[in-house]
Amino acid sequence: MRPLLRTPAYTLSGDPELTPAAPRRRCGTGSPALNSGMPAPQLLPATDTARRSLIGPSALAAAIALASAGGGACAASGAGWALWASGLQPGVHPRLAVAPDHTIYYAVLATAGTRGLVYKAADARAPAGAFAPLPPIPYVTIGNNIQALTTTAASEPVAGIFHSAGSADPVAFVLDKASGQWIAAALSTPPSLGVFSMARAPNGDIWFGAKWAYVYRSTDGGRSYVAIDESAKVKAAAPCYYPTFNNATSDGAIYSINVDRRGWVHAGTETAGVIYSDDAGATWRPLDAQACLASDPTQRNPASPMAAATRAGNVGAVGFTRDNRPVWNGTELFQFGWDSSIGVADPDAQAISPAIGFPVNFIYRGLQVSRIVTTTAGTLFLHSGANPAFDPSPPPPPGQSQYSMGLYRSDDGIHWAQFNTGIASVNDGLSEGGLAVDGNRVFTATSDGKVWYFDADDRVFSDGFDG
């Protein structure tokens, strides 16, 4: 078991999985000129008050106006989000997952004391949805901590549970289709604090990342998992990699995990940036292939062009472009002069680009974004999470602002534009995490128990699904 690393935590999940490529309808190319004239990016102070002071009222207003205008790639034109279902259990940080048979599942992380349920709607392709609750998950001691949600290849829901150290609760469940009962998964090594993120691979394997433990893989539809010490495997491939830049001797928490269209597994770590496996977990490597000196792999390469993927910590989300380029949210990225903590890597070219189109310094930390999904045609979506420093009317203490810019979309992972058109609910930071895709239909959920959809391409269901 790894030592407990006392770094900030945030409730997150991730499980998108991608389908074969198809021609797409582009929605714009964007322009780096979008940010011209904006203040130079800089690392923000730790407190909201200090950050608001640094941003200043004029720059703050300009940033909000820029985001509201929706400039850059994929600016909304015409149709927007539409309500698909309502009346679901409200709560903090909704979770959505779409199964191979187009069943869609819904849950929330926290429900203010009531027992959390997983809900099922029969057909994500329908013009509207009708959800029904599934049998309660058989927790032992807790009411609700549905941290992650995905499905098996047989379209069964899989729930990942987060709990305190020493809890008697199992951390992963699957609802068996034959019996209609939840099965508690057997784990080769139990994690300290349960599941943090989940994903299903194209071959049906279920992966989850745990806090202060390991990466876990299931090859039997979520009935059992084997722990993989990915830190040791990264160390074998890149001897210089540990201790990391913040002197950690392992990856710490696995805050995000995702699988690209090829089946390559990527993990976003607490202390060691983005790592990946291209052979179902047998080996693991840094995304930064030049992290170590070629002449002496025990020494770090100070000139690596991919250093941003190594120095990123608290990597809350990993997603992919249509051509499998990783897109991630992490911390420690303003040191590179970036406007936000979203990066895009081109591993073939060994190059990294900062994402643009967000208000400068709005996505300022790791773990602010927990889910990045991609349609069959290649459009990416994320929720920008909360940044209280931008709130023009923050609540008085002890209230905590959940001010957010809401949803963004992109054609290429680099150029992003705000896209909240049609969402009538409060779409603040408490709604972050609720995204799923079925072909070219995108779903998002808000914390008031509503599910919204947007058809991002004319050929909505032409190429399978993406949950």
Say if residues 196 and 147 touch (Cβ distance below 8 Å).
yes
Unique residue bearing structure tokens 């015409």: 78
345/326 Cα distance (integer angstroms) = 5
Evaluate if residue 75 carries a pLDDT over 50.
Answer: no
124/129 Cα distance (integer angstroms) = 7
User: Which tokens in the block code for residue 452?
Assistant: 């919204």
Say if residues 199 and 257 touch (Cβ distance below 8 Å).
yes
- Other C-beta atoms within 10 Å of 401: how many? 17
pLDDT tens readout for residues 104-132 = 999 999 876 677 899 999 999 999 999 99
Q: So what's the pLDDT on residue 439?
A: 97
pTM for the whole thing? 0.85
Evaluate if residue 263 carries a pLDDT over 80.
Answer: yes
Q: Single out the residue of 421, 419, 420 nearest to residue 410, CA to CA.
A: 419
Q: So what's the pLDDT on residue 367?
A: 94
Q: So what's the pLDDT on residue 31?
A: 28
Least trusted range by pLDDT, from 112-116, 298-302, 375-379: 112-116
Residue 24, Ramachandran bin (φ over 0: left; ψ between -120 and 50: alpha; else beta):
beta
Fill in the DSSP letter of residue 138.
-
Q: For 316-372, give the secondary structure using H, E and C.
A: EEEEECCCCCEEEEEECCHHHCCCCCEEEEECCCCEEEECECCCCCCCCCCCCCCCE
Q: So what's the pLDDT on residue 90?
A: 93
Fill in the DSSP letter of residue 51.
H
Q: Single out the residue of 130, 199, 210, 204 nearest to residue 170, CA to CA.
A: 210
Burial class, 438, CB count within 10 angstroms (exposed 0-12 / middle 13-18 / buried 19+) = buried
Evaluate if residue 342 carries a pLDDT over 60.
Answer: yes
Q: So what's the pLDDT on residue 257?
A: 98
What are the backbone dihedrals phi and psi of residue 336, each rounded to the nearest 5 degrees, phi first? -95, 5
Residue 59, Ramachandran bin (φ over 0: left; ψ between -120 and 50: alpha; else beta):
alpha
Q: So what's the pLDDT on residue 143?
A: 64
Fill in the DSSP letter of residue 389.
G
CA distances to 84, 158, 263 from 206, in Å = 28, 9, 11
Say if residues 417 and 357 touch (Cβ distance below 8 Å).
yes
pLDDT tens readout for residues 167-202 = 778 999 999 999 999 999 999 998 888 899 999 999
| 3-state secondary structure at position 235 | helix
Evaluate if residue 61 carries a pLDDT over 60.
Answer: no
**What percent helix, strand, coil does the chain show, rounded to 5?**
10, 30, 60
Give the chain's domains with CATH numbers: 32-455 (2.130.10.10)
pLDDT tens readout for residues 315-333 = 999 999 999 999 999 987 8
Q: What is the mean pLDDT of residues 340-367?
A: 95
* Positions of E strands within 39-191: 82-85, 92-98, 104-110, 119-121, 132-133, 146-151, 157-161, 172-175, 182-184, 186-187
